[in-house]
Amino acid sequence: MTDRVKSLLLAMEFGTILPMPHMDGVNQDTLSRSMGFFPVTGLALGLILWGFMWTGTHFLTEDATAILGLGVYVLATGALHLDGLSDTFDAFGSRRPPKEALAVMKDSRIGTMGAAALAIVLIGKAVAFAKMPVSGPGPWVVVPVLARTSVVWCMAWSSPARPDGLGALYSRRLSYKTVGGVTVVSLALAAWLLPWYQALIAVMLCMMATVIWVFLTRRRFGGATGDTYGALLELVEWVGFLVLAGGWGYGR
């Protein structure tokens, strides 16, 4: 098995609960390079989501299909990024110094801020899913891909808050060649699957969200962590789905 295939399988294994073949000889280079394939997990998950929604609307109401589709999507990711979202917002709301806030982030218990963030993001996605048409895979695929591309950008633009944390493990050897390849592929996919103005809006929002998030996490925590990466992914998806469902050619 080549290193590239191992990196692809690692990205799928990390970002989904889809069964992957067992791999031997995985090193840190393979692990770091796997982030170049992270948007591929978004493509796979987006197609699964769209396929479920397309099928569900033939048998159920739009609202029921949206709620079930959201459940399928969350289960397919193992709720990993939602966990990062709740942990990050608990740390943001702790009003403690950066080191103590990072300790709050590692606490497995969920607080009020984390629960509120989860509720807002999940309700927003469910509303968006009920509004978006299922005639084509465009927004269903593009938003998950761009959300995962934003994580790669964040890794390139920010420094790790913990030198020994998960964020540092993934970003330490992330090359600009990998970042450039991910960017080109993701932008091309958006331009192919969406009308040009929707693709432009989606990409610009993704970039803006990433820049703002890098600034906020650097100011609050001194850098990024695995949890803040997951939170960024969820926030970009939340914004992307709501925008494309709310009038930019997809609203009803």
Residue 75 scores a pLDDT above 50: yes
pLDDT of residue 252 exceeding 60:
no
Whether the pTM exceeds 0.85: the reply is: yes
Class of residue 197 by CB neighbours under 10 A (exposed 0-12, middle 13-18, buried 19+): exposed
Identify whether 252 is part of a domain. no
20 three-state secondary structure: coil
Residue 21 main-chain phi, psi, to 5 deg: -65, 150
Residue 148 lies in a domain: yes
Which phi-psi region, left, alpha or beta, contains residue 79 (left: φ > 0; alpha: ψ -120 to 50)? left
Q: Are 227 and 105 in contact (CB under 8 A)?
A: yes
250 located within any domain: no
Does residue 30 register a pLDDT over 90?
no
Please give the Cα distance from 237 to 147 (Å, whole number): 6
Sequence-ordered strand ranges (E) for 1-57: none
Lowest-confidence region among 7-16, 180-189, 192-201:
7-16
Evaluate whether residue 226 is within a structural domain. Answer: yes
Residue 251 lies in a domain: no
Q: Residue 250: its pLDDT value, please?
A: 45
* pLDDT: which is higher, 15 or 21: 15
51 in any annotated domain: yes
pLDDT tens digit sequence for 77-121: 999 899 999 999 999 988 888 889 999 998 888 999 999 999 999
248, 143 in Cβ contact below 8 A?
no
Domain span holding position 142: 3-20+27-245
Which CB contacts under 8 angstroms, 24+ apart, belong to 114-117? 114/85, 114/86, 114/87, 114/88, 114/89, 114/90, 115/86, 116/89, 117/85, 117/86, 117/88, 117/89, 117/231
Give pLDDT, residue 77.
92
Q: Strand, helix or coil at 158?
A: coil
Residue 159: pLDDT above 90? no
What confidence score (pLDDT) does residue 34 get?
A: 80
Residue 219 lies in a domain: yes
Separation CA 227–CA 170 (nearest Å): 12
What's the residue count for the chain? 252
Domains of the chain: total: 1
